[in-house]
Chain A
Amino acid sequence: MSNEKGWGMRAFDWFEERLPIVSFIDHSVGSKYPAPNNLNYFWNFGSLAGFMLVVLMMTGIVLAMSYTPHVDHAFESVERIMRDVNSGWLIRYLHANGGSFFFIVVLIHIFRGMYYGSYKAPREVLWWLGIVIYLLMMATAFMGYVLPWGQMSFWGATVITNLFSAVPIVGDEIVTLLWGGFSVDNPTLNRFFALHYLLPFAIVGVVVLHIWALHIPGSNNPMGIEVTANDKIPFHPYYTSKDVFGLGVFLLFYFTVVFWFPNAMGHPDNYIPANPLQTPAHIVPEWYFLPFYAILRSIDDKLTGVILMFGSILILFVVPWLDTSRVRSANFRPIFKVLFWIFLLDCFVLGWCGSQLPEGLPLILTRVGTFWYFFHFLVLLPVVGWIETPRPLPSSISTPVIASPAE
């Protein structure tokens, strides 16, 4: 039969025998990856996150060609990109807003995982790798925001790096190491630039592991049940076509912001060059840090605040064991479903609190919100898993349960 193949196919086979990279990709995100046939649009956000990572890296590399990581030139070089570099304004607005949209997409991806119990066995390591990506993203985004060397860049960097001084005994040494000196200055900017360029490649590495870990058990699905081979369809062309459509919808939102509201997610103060002698009236981080900023300020003691803030993310690592229910999807868990939406609301409340001065009503809400955040994970998740009676699970995707438990 092989002599009936055209020369192109033969060349392809020759290459495949030596490096089977095409079939590797086909097995990863192509026709050889069987996915559940009932994935809804919330399953689009994984590939969207991958897309945004690529957009950010490509625009970032181009920006780095015209950016100068020096305290005397950084702000001006960004303005030169905006004014004198061909389409520089477009590249920078795509990059700056791209960071925000990357977070929007990844946060929806994370909440999707929480709602449908995607972190439960056998996907714990997949979930861990996701949290590692999220942490790396936050570090990268924070350092990226410092690069334009505006007022918020400088003072944000000062506030956040100073957090590490709360670490007992070695705190000050850590801060000196982060700064590369004794204040936020040129060495800080230089190392942040180097790391901001490096970390995305580290993220790519963890993304590869994340996809690898995904392929061991395969995708979870809205019913959260094990999927039989009958109820699976190849990722390509079914989910590739669905992802492309989802990408189009996503781009409509992304481009609307980039072309009409490019500064809406930034802070006006970052168009003022950094001035170490003048503190802005109100230092606020980027929106995606606001809930954590609120948790940090929920308590007067610095070390406790820092522990709570890092704890609020690190706690995600043990969520697979804190959640004692074996039923994955919230669709079959009446109590958990309500708690999920309350938790989401709590995150929005904390986000709003983070943008306010910590006094009066915002401070009260911050404390209630912080309490609820940890209460949700540490108490409600385990207890609800024990006391809740889940709705009966269908035996497979194609045979839904018709009888209700009351009958």
Chain B
Amino acid sequence: MRTVLFAAFAVILLNELPADVKAASEGVELDHQEWTFDGPFGGFDRQQLQRGFQVYREVCSSCHGLDYIAFRNLEAIGYSEDQTKVLASEYLIEDCCDDQGDIFDRPAIPADGIPNPYPNEQFARASNNGSLPPDLSLITKARANGPDYIYNLILAYEDPPADMEEEIMFGMYYNTVFDGNQIAMAQQLFDELIEYSDGTVATNEQMAKDVTAFLHWAAEPKLEVRKQTGVRVLLFTLVFTVLAYFLKRRIWAGLKH
């Protein structure tokens, strides 16, 4: 009977778990990457997150916001408190209000969010041919197979096949991963577009991978503490369950059958 019970659980779990795998079958095959945050003990590589942040800052941030990340959060990817202060102070943000009641500009502090490139949605659309660049704070959780999807998408630019050339609308670009194959974002990554401060060679794939890892951290910043807590919780529960089993056996042993 116990086996039946386990089997029932397993069936239900297996039925539910591949939820995020499902959507992949709707579109193209995604080239699966090995991520440091995969697996039961996987976590983030701080060097990679910092490189990814550099890609975001020098490339993505001209169009995409990161609304749920403040400069202070960057301490979690290995920057010191002083470094986040310096980093923040390089941005000017609008504040309200000074002693006269006027809106004024001041350098950002670590408690400020990373400034959005646009003041509002209409401005963003007007600057992008009517399209709205999505906020990237949750992008890897807001797409099926998020990390693999983002990695593949930003590398999936190529010349459209002859029969599609006519269909590409004005201001749109051919992309083999994006739904409908027309995306409003032009190719952004080019080999050695940026110069990594840690000396890593900035190939397309390297930048795509680094920025995706960074965005996954931005979407799930508690991933490491979650898995670490999980290991301890599960070990505790396992011991508890084994003890409970022997306790139950001992209590039931007194019964005559």
B230 pairs with A255, CB closer than 8 A = yes
B142 pairs with A268, CB closer than 8 A = yes
Give the contact-size bracket for chain B: 35 or more
B241 pairs with A245, CB closer than 8 A = yes
Q: Which of A252, A268, A351 contacts B141 (CB 8 A)?
A: A268
Encode contact with A along B192-216: 1 for CB under 8 Å, 0 otherwise.
0000000000000000000000000
- Bound form: Cα–Cα A257–B227 in Å: 11
Which residues of B, 14-36, contact A by the 8 Å Cβ criterion? 15-20, 22-23
- Residues in B whose Cβ lies below 8 Å from that of A255: 230, 233-234, 237
User: Is residue A348 contacting chain B, with contact meaning CB distance below 8 A?
Assistant: yes
Task: Contacts A238-B251, A244-B247 given; indicate if A271 touches B141 (C-beta within 8 A).
Answer: yes
Interface of B is mostly: helix
- Bound form: Cα–Cα A233–B256 in Å: 11
User: Is residue A216 contacting chain B, with contact meaning CB distance below 8 A?
Assistant: no
- Bound form: Cα–Cα A244–B241 in Å: 8
A253 pairs with B9, CB closer than 8 A = yes
- Residues in A whose Cβ lies below 8 Å from that of B179: 281
Cβ-Cβ contact count across A and B, 8 Å cutoff: 115
Give the contact-size bracket for chain A: 35 or more
Which residues of B, 209-246, contact A by the 8 Å Cβ criterion? 219, 221-222, 226-227, 229-231, 233-234, 237-238, 240-241, 244-245
Residue of A nearest to B250 (CB): A241
Task: Contacts A104-B12, A268-B142, A272-B142 given; indicate if A248 touches B229 (C-beta within 8 A).
Answer: no
Question: Which chain B residues have a beta carbon within 8 Å of chain A's beta carbons?
Answer: 1-2, 5-6, 8-9, 12-13, 15-20, 22-23, 40, 68, 73, 134, 137-138, 141-144, 146, 179, 219, 221-222, 226-227, 229-231, 233-234, 237-238, 240-241, 244-245, 247-248, 251-252, 255, 257
A-B contact pairs, 17 of them (CB 8 A): A41-B2, A41-B5, A83-B73, A104-B12, A108-B8, A238-B255, A248-B241, A252-B238, A255-B230, A256-B230, A259-B227, A264-B18, A267-B19, A268-B141, A268-B144, A281-B179, A348-B15
7 other A-B residue contacts (CB within 8 Å) besides A83-B68, A242-B248, A248-B237: A89-B222, A238-B252, A248-B244, A253-B9, A255-B233, A260-B40, A281-B179
